[in-house]
Structure formats: C-alpha cells, structure tokens
C-alpha cells in the first residue's frame, strides 16, 4: 500500500513539475527573442489603451481597415467580413463601369508629371489607368494640372512646381501624399517610369522605384504591365497613407464658417462632425522614420454644412476652438 501511495505521489509531483516548466516558458521567457534584443513595444500601449493586440501594432490595423474599407466600398461587401486585400498587383481591380457609388473615407493622392512629359501618349495612358484603379484602392486622385493650379501664384510657396510645396498641397487641395512620375519613352512602345512618393503631412520621402512598362494600346488590358503596376503603386500609396487615420484640414475662412479640403469625393456626408486635433504624437521606427500618428486630444468640433463642388466643404464651429490650417480634422463616428 505504501508503494502504491509513493508511486501516486511521484506521479503528481512530475505532473506539477511539467506544468511549472510549461508555465515558466510562457511567463518568464525572455521577450528579446533569438537575437537577445528587446522588441519594439506596441505603441498603442504607450498611448494608454487598456487592451492591446500584441500580434499586430495599431498602425497596421489602421492600414488593414483602410484598405478593406476601400475595397469593400467597390464590391459592396462588409469591410470587416473578410480578410484585407493584398498589397500589390495580385488583386484584380474592377472596371469603372462596375463601380457603384463609394461611401468610405478616401484620402487624396496627388500625381505629378512634369509639363514637358505630361502631354505624351505614355503619360495619358498611365494617368487613365491610375484614375481607373484609384477608387478600388480607396483613394481619390488629384491630377497634375490641378496641382499646378494650386501652387501657381501662391505667396505661400516660392517653388515653381508642386514638388517644392508638399506642405502647401497638404493644406490645399488636401492631398495626403504626392506621387511624382518621371516618364522616359523608349523604342517599341516601352517606357521607363520612375516613381517616388512624399507624405505631404509628415514630410516622409520614400525611395524612388523605376519600372519598364509596355504602353502600346494592344497591351493595356486587364493583367497588362500598366494595370498591374498601377494597382501595385496605388496599393502601396494607400498603405503608406494609412500610418494615420483619415483626416482633413481647413484652409480658409468664410465669415464665421470655414472651408475644408475634403468633400463628397473624399466620402464626407452633409452634417458629418469632425474633431479638431493639434500636433498629436508620432511613432518612429528604430531608423527614425515616422511610422504612425496618434491624434492629440480633441480641442474642438466642427460640422459639415454644405459642399462646394466635389472636393471642398463648408463647415461651422460646434464646440471648442476654431481649427487652424495645421490642425488635423478627424471624422467623429
């Protein structure tokens, strides 16, 4: 009897030891990983949120949600029902004729082509394709001529082209990023396209990428070089813009009201309420690049009264202080 009891006690002790060992691996293991370096903490915790999804930083979840909403608004599905769209050329964008009206918030992407390249057939084909696929990537496209008009004659910027005035363009016409295309046509209907992007609000300059594209008329259908390239470039732009939630700026006063650099084309609706935020906080990578923006405390609210065309709205003050052009205005759900 004593031998049986001893065996049972030994078995219990081994079980307890096994559980303790497993628990020790889960709770006391080094967070540094194989390299022995502490990983970057999810910055959402640093901002005081009670619940944190440690598997994915909050700026990546913003990115997923923004892309999912952009795609879902095109196909008419619930944006949270499925997985977010893949980045790049693997996702098939819908033809223009199949797109219903969009109701999601769509940041503006400015596309600039130098005046001496803008009227080439290659430039026309690139712009037409980008315009066709912008909505499928949750973006509103602002074209080169409109960018030129926004900078021309302005005392706020001494540069001759929009490329020298990214901050001004962020206020009006309100682009979240500037995509600069340099097009050099070669023989056989092939063009060397160099693309570089600047985040107008946060001053981030991304590396330029050069690609050879077949731009002959017979090579412009679905799955062609230019459609795959356009979907990839626009998807990349949408991902980069999504380091922050959607926001707008005020750019001029109209008596006691103000003009906002977003309208119906950006997905705003009449009577929408926007919160006024000051500088907020940025999150930087170990290399020093801004990778996320967290809105600062709400300092006021405004309400959309009416629209002026597709890209501008008139708003009135509701509470708090009036926004300045540098303040960022986020949608109040």
Beta-strand pair 250-254/298-308: unpaired
* Angle CA 305–242–157, to nearest 5: 70
DSSP category for residue 188:
G
Give residue-wise pLDDT tens across range 141-153: 999 999 998 887 6
One DSSP character per residue, 119-144 reads TSHHHHHHHHHHHHHHGGGT-EEE-H
Would you state the structure tokens that stand for residue 102, as one six-digit string? 């969009």
Place of tokens 């900078």: 151
Burial (Cβ within 10 Å: 0-12, 13-18, ≥19) of residue 15: exposed
Give residue-wise pLDDT tens across range 221-263: 666 888 999 999 999 999 999 999 999 999 999 899 999 999 9
pLDDT computed for residue 165 by the predictor:
87
One DSSP character per residue, 218-229 reads GG-STTSHHHHH
Average pLDDT over residues 283-294: 91
Beta-strand pair 328-331/140-142: unpaired
Task: Say whether 267 sits in a helix, a strand or coil.
Answer: coil
Which of the two residues, 321 and 20, has the higher pLDDT score? 321
pLDDT computed for residue 330 by the predictor:
96
Give residue-wise pLDDT tens across range 111-169: 999 999 999 888 998 999 999 999 999 999 999 999 998 887 666 677 778 888 899 99
DSSP category for residue 39:
P
Comparing C-alpha atoms, which of 105, 162, 180 is closest to residue 331? 105
Give residue-wise pLDDT tens across range 44-67: 333 332 333 334 444 444 445 544
Core vs surface per residue 296-310: b (16+ CB within 10 A) or e: eeeebbbbbeebeee
- What band does 96 get if pLDDT is binned at 50, 70 and 90? very low
């Amino acid at each position: 009897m004593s031998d049986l009891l001893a065996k049972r006690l030994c078995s219990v002790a081994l079980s307890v030891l096994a559980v303790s060992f497993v628990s020790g691996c889960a709770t006391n293991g080094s967070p540094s990983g194989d390299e022995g370096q502490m990983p970057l903490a999810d910055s959402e915790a640093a901002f005081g949120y009670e619940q944190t999804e440690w598997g994915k930083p909050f700026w990546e979840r913003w990115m997923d949600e923004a892309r999912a909403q952009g795609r879902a608004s095109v196909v008419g599905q619930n944006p949270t029902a499925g997985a977010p769209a893949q980045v790049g050329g693997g996702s098939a964008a819908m033809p223009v004729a199949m797109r219903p009206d969009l109701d999601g918030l769509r940041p503006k992407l400015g596309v600039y082509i130098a005046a001496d390249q803008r009227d080439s057939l290659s430039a026309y084909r690139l712009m037409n394709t980008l315009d066709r696929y912008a909505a499928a990537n949750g973006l509103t496209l602002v074209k080169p001529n409109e960018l030129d008009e926004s900078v021309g004659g302005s005392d706020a910027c001494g540069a001759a082209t929009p490329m020298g005035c990214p901050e001004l363009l962020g206020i009006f016409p309100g682009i979240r990023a500037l995509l600069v295309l340099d097009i050099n046509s070669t023989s056989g209907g092939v063009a060397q396209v160099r693309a570089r992007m600047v985040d107008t609000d946060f001053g981030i300059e991304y590396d330029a990428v050069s690609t050879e594209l077949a731009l002959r008329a017979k090579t412009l259908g679905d799955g062609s070089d230019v459609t795959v390239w356009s979907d990839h470039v626009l998807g990349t732009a949408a991902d980069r813009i999504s380091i922050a939630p959607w926001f707008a700026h005020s750019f001029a006063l109209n008596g006691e009201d103000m003009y906002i650099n977003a309208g119906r084309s950006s997905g705003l609706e009449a009577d929408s309420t926007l919160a006024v935020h000051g500088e907020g906080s940025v999150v930087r990578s170990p290399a020093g690049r801004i990778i996320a923006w967290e809105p600062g405390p709400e300092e006021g609210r405004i309400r959309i009264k009416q629209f002026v065309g597709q890209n501008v709205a008139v708003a009135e003050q509701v509470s708090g202080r009036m926004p300045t052009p540098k303040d960022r205005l986020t949608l109040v759900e």
